[in-house]
Amino acid sequence: MGTEKMFLPALPLVLGFLLDCIVGDPYSVPHPIRAIGDLIGALEKKVRRSFRDLRAGGTLLALGVIAVSAAVPGAVLWICYRVNTWLGIGVETVMCCYMLAAKCLKDESMKVCRAAAAGDTEGARKAVSMIVGRDTQVLDREGIIRAAVETVAENTSDGVTAPMMYMGLFGAVGGFVYKAVNTMDSMIGYKDEKYADIGRFAARLDDVLNFVPSRATAVLMAASAGLMRGFDGKNALRIWRRDRRKHASPNSAQTESACAGALHLRLAGDAQYFGRLCKKPFIGDDDRPIEPEDIRRANRLMYVSSVMMLLICTAVRTGLGALWTVIR
């Protein structure tokens, strides 16, 4: 295998990340994640009509969504690579780009930053309502900024490094499977009466798939903070070790705690969802007041951590590609 060909398996992931950084998600173009969401919605209705045991139905729903999410891109890529290697690389690059959300996360969170910095609290409230699930009408200016920072921190893993890790292992198909599970969790993975049974399997599977990526990303955040001026890598690691379990989800506090430590902020705390107050512990120390610029800092931390993960995944993908060539 030529040296230049060794890097071909990793090329779609690298180019996909660069494409996402430059272009992001074009809102006017159909997105595969929306199609997966439509499939989940349709199957949910069918399961509720057809199954008395919603746990069993929810398990079949999840397995069906995963099967379709793997089979469709897998078939498309198989055909494209059979026609021409560079056609396959081009199509897989676009697929990888669709699975990543770095630019979208930055763009949407920076709307909050700019509005808050300009003193437009209502504008910031409207912007943050687009990226968080909590009730935003009860948030003050600091609460709005904090919510945006938390969203960037948590979605560094969910939206960027976790799908990147699975694409590093399994190509674009791995990214589709991860995002399908992640989308199911966001749509039906709630613990309330309506979704506790039908979404149980999807929620547990999402916890499993995010277990390693969330922790790896938190460590990369601490490493990134150690390289950048104005960030505290040692404190990021300290707060991560101390506060990483302060969340109902086994994974959500991992990156939030690392980000809180890197920025010397206190995040999390009580939040209101659908009119109900949810008691949550604080993450991090209240070393200084939060400010709009912290949203920009959180995005910088997200990008540097993502590049670190990209380098690791590129090495893994290259090695797996070389191994596969030898075995074949």
Q: By percentage, how much of the chain surpasses pLDDT 70?
A: 97
* Interatomic CA distance for residues 63 and 34, integer angstroms: 18
Find where tokens 């399961």 sit.
Answer: 47
Separation CA 154–CA 177 (nearest Å): 19
Q: pLDDT by residue (tens digit) across 220-257?
A: 999 999 999 999 999 999 999 999 998 888 898 999 99
The separation between CA 177 and the C-alpha centre of its own chain, rounded to angstroms, equals: 13
Summarised one tens digit per residue, pLDDT across range 173-204 is 999 999 999 999 999 988 888 889 999 999 99
Q: Which residue has the tokens 């199957």?
A: 43
pLDDT for 3: 54
| pLDDT tens digits, 20-77 | 999 987 777 788 999 999 999 999 999 999 999 999 999 999 999 999 999 999 999 9
Output the pLDDT for position 247: 82
**Phi–psi pair at 284, nearest 5 degrees:** 90, 175
Q: What is the DSSP letter of 30?
A: -
Q: Kindly report the backbone phi and psi dihedral angles of residue 84, in degrees, each rounded to the nearest multiple of 5, phi listed first.
A: -165, 135
Query: What are the Cα distances from residue 199, in Å, to 132, 194, 276?
Result: 20, 9, 21
Q: Is the pLDDT of residue 153 over 80?
A: yes
| Residue 228 confidence (pLDDT) | 95
Instruction: Tell me the backbone φ, ψ of residue 177, rounded to 5 degrees.
Output: -65, -45
**Mean pLDDT score across all residues of the chain:** 92
Q: Does residue 1 carry a pLDDT above 90? A: no
Residue with tokens 């969203």: 151
Alpha-carbon span 159 to 140, nearest angstrom: 27
Tokens for 109, please give them.
Answer: 């969170």
What pLDDT, in 10s, does the model give residues 115-132?
Answer: 999 999 999 999 999 988
pLDDT at residue 176, rounded to an integer = 98
Report the SS3 class of residue 193: coil
